[in-house]
Amino acid sequence: MMKLNESNFFNRRIDLDRVKELIKRFAREVYYDAESYEQFRYELVLKAVEYIMWVDYEMGWDELPEQEEIEFNNSLANMYEPLINDLYKKIVEIDKEQ
């Protein structure tokens, strides 16, 4: 299991391997709601993190520290950039074929 610096709210609660799996799971759904790659990238990570926080801790987005969540999501989006980019490209290709 990968971990980032253990100092903040999300780093202590979020299993990064699980985030990776959820990114794969939610990619298609987020793709159709996003208007750009940057929005897709951010919202995909956000959906995974907020899903974990709700399922594991019963904490909704309104109960989470907003600035820390933004920073955490940005760092995860950067960390998982290759995966997110590959998923995006595959979905675009599938979408073109249909």
- Tell me if 26 is assigned to some domain: yes
**Domain presence at residue 7:** no
Q: Is 5 part of a structural domain of the chain?
A: no
Report yes or no on 75 lying in a domain. Answer: yes
Distance from C-alpha of 49 to C-alpha of 81, rounded to nearest angstrom: 16
How many C-beta neighbours within 10 Å does residue 91 have? 16
DSSP state of 47: H
**Quick check: is 11 in a domain?**
no
pTM: 0.88
Q: Which domain holds residue 21?
A: 16-97
What six digits make up the tokens of 97? 């074929």
pLDDT single digits (tens) 45-87: 999 999 999 999 999 989 998 989 999 999 999 999 999 999 9
Q: How many domains does the chain have?
A: 1
